[in-house]
Amino acid sequence: MVNTGLPSKDCYTCRRRRVKCDLGRPGCLRCKKLGHDCPGYRDLNRLSFNFRVLTPESYRRHKNQNSDPQVTKDTEQEQDRHFRFAGARQPPLALTYVPTEEWEAHAKPLVISQFTILTMQGARVYGSFDFLPQLLEHTDSTSTLHKVCNAVASASFTNRSRPDSTGFGHRKLYAKALQSLSNDVSHVEKQKQDQTLVAVWLLCLYELLVGAPSQKSQQEPRGWNAHGEAMIGLLRLRGQNQFLTKTGCQLFQIAYPIIQIQAIQAGQPPPPEAVAWLHSMQTSPMAKEMLFLPAFLYSDLACRIYSTIRDLIEQGTHEKMLLSIDDIVVACKNLESSIDAVITQGPALQSQPGPSDDLATGQTDKWLMNQHAANYLDAFLFQVYQGCIDLLSQTLKATAPPKKRAELLCYHESSTKRLMHLADRIIVSLPLLMPATGARVNQQGPSIPTWGHALKLLWPLGLISSSANVIDRQRAAANLGLLRIGYEVGIMRAVRTYS
C-alpha cells in the first residue's frame, strides 16, 4: 500500500496490521476484539512526523524557484523520466523497513540496506560489507558511528524527498558526528578501532551524497579530501595488525580506493606506507579471496606514473619533456598490458541468475566484483592516458627533428584512441551493473539501484564526463549514467549539486 499525505492517525496495532482503526479513546475496538490492550496513538505534533518518507511514491518532486520558465518540452520530459526512475516502488527486501516513530531508529537499517543484494534465497549484504550489520548492531546512540549513520541517512532522506522548505537538518547531525569523531581520534584506544575507520569512511560517503559546493564545480567536496587524509592516518595507526583479521582486510579494501583516487586526482604518488600495506595484504591468509588486491597494486603504479607526468608538465622544460616522453609512453603501454591480463581472467557473463546471485543484475558476486575491479583499473589507466596526452601536447611545443615530431604525433593519436577505448569499456558495463527498470533479468529484483554499485561507477563516469578527449556519444552516455546515480540513487555528487 502506498503511503502518501499526512501520517496515519491509527493506533500502532492497526497500522502494523494495515487495517482501518476506529480511533476510539483511550483504545480502539479492534484491539479490544483481539483480546489485548490497545497500545495507543502517536503524537502527530512531534517534529519527527513532519517528515513522512515511507516509499518512493510519497517523495515530493523538487521545484526550483529560480529556474528559467522557458524550459523546453524535451528537457521537462527528460527530468520527469529521471524522477519516475527515482519514484519506482522499492521491492520487499528483507532489510526494508516501515518507519514508525523516530526516523533515527531507521538510520542504521537504511545504511545496511544500501549494501544489500536480493537473491532467490533472500537478501544478504555484499561480501565485502558483511561485517557491517554486526558492527552497527553493537553501537549505541552515544557512539560516533551511530551519529554518522544518522547524518548519512538524513542526507539520503533529504535527497529522496527533495524538500523546498523542510529538511532533516543533516548538516547539524554532520557537525555533531564530526565533534564526536574528534573526541574519538584523540583517544589512543579508539583510534585503532574498526568503528572509527568505518565512521570516517561513512563521512566520505556523506560528502558524496550532499554533493559539491556548486553545480559547475569539477572539484570534490573539501570534506571528502579531509576525510581521506584522516583515513590515511588511521590506517597508519592500525599498522600491520589490521591485516590479521578478515574484517581488518575488508575495511582496508573499502578505505584504500578513496585514498588512491584522491592521490591520482592530486597528481601525487600513494602514501609511503602503501608498499608495506599491500605486501601485508598479499601475504595475509585473510585476503586471498579479495579480488580488488590486484587492482590496488596496478592502481598504485598508475598513481606513480601520473605523478611523474604532472611533475614534468608543471616543473619541467619542453626539452626535459622531450627526453622523458619515450619512457612515459612505454610505462603507459606496460601498465595497460598488465591491466588487460588481470581483466581477462574474470568469469563469464551469465544469461540467468543462479539461486545465490544478484537478481538486479543476474550475475554472481565474483563477476560483479571483477567488473568493478576492471572499471576501477580502466579509470586509473584512463587518467594516466589523459596525462600522457597533455604531456604530448606540451612536448610537441619543443623543437624536435621532423622524424621525432611525427613520432610524437603518432603517440598522441594512439593515446587518444586508447582513451576512447577505455571509455567504451566502462560505459558498456553501466547497463549491466545498473540495469534500467524494464531491463531487469527478474521482476523480483530491486527497481532502484543502491549505493553499492553506484559508488563504484561514480568516479569512472565522472572522468569520462569531464574529459575533453572523448567523443560526444561517450560523454552523453557518461552524463546519463551520472544523472541516474544522482536522481535514482541520491548521490548528488554525480550531478554536482548540494541537496
Q: State how far the Cα of 70 lies from the Cα of 55, in Å rounded to an integer.
A: 32
Per-residue model confidence as pLDDT tens digits over 299-339: 999 999 999 999 999 987 888 999 999 999 999 999 999 99
Taking Cα atoms as reference points, which of 364, 368, 419 lies closest to residue 390?
419
Identify the weakest region by mean pLDDT among 43-47, 428-432, 491-495. Answer: 43-47
For residue 116, the model assigns a pLDDT of 83
Per-residue model confidence as pLDDT tens digits over 17-62: 888 888 888 888 888 888 888 888 776 554 333 333 333 333 344 4
Most trustworthy range by pLDDT among 54-68, 70-84, 156-170: 156-170
Q: Calculate mean pLDDT across residues 280-288.
A: 81
Identify the weakest region by mean pLDDT among 12-21, 96-105, 124-133, 386-395. Answer: 96-105
Per-residue model confidence as pLDDT tens digits over 150-163: 999 988 888 876 65
Please indicate whether residue 432 or residue 478 has the higher confidence score (pLDDT).
478
For residue 117, the model assigns a pLDDT of 77
Query: Is residue 182 over pLDDT 70?
Result: yes
- % of the chain at pLDDT higher than 70: 75
CATH 3.90.1150.10 assigned to domain 8-43? The reply is no
Grid cell listed for 64: 526550483
Q: State how far the Cα of 9 lies from the Cα of 42, in Å rounded to an integer.
A: 7
Count helices and strands (H / E) in the chain.
Answer: 18, 2
For residue 448, the model assigns a pLDDT of 64
Who contacts 406 (Cβ-Cβ below 8 Å, separation ≥6)?
A: none
Find the helix or strand (DSSP H, E) in which 122 lies.
strand 122-125
Sign of the Cα torsion 381, 382, 387, 392 reads positive
Distances (CA, A) of 484 to 59, 300, 313, 480: 16, 30, 35, 6
For residue 102, the model assigns a pLDDT of 66
For residue 413, the model assigns a pLDDT of 96
Q: State how far the Cα of 61 lies from the Cα of 58, in Å rounded to an integer.
A: 9
Give 348's pLDDT tier (boundaries 50, 70, 90): low
Distances (CA, A) of 172 to 166, 178, 220, 491: 14, 10, 21, 19
What is the identity of the amino acid at 82? H
Query: Is residue 383 over pLDDT 90?
Result: yes
Task: Give me the chain's average pLDDT, please.
Answer: 79
Query: Is residue 433 over pLDDT 80?
Result: yes
Give 83's pLDDT tier (boundaries 50, 70, 90): very low
Identify the weakest region by mean pLDDT among 31-40, 132-141, 275-284, 286-295. Answer: 286-295
Please indicate whether residue 408 or residue 43 has the higher confidence score (pLDDT).
408
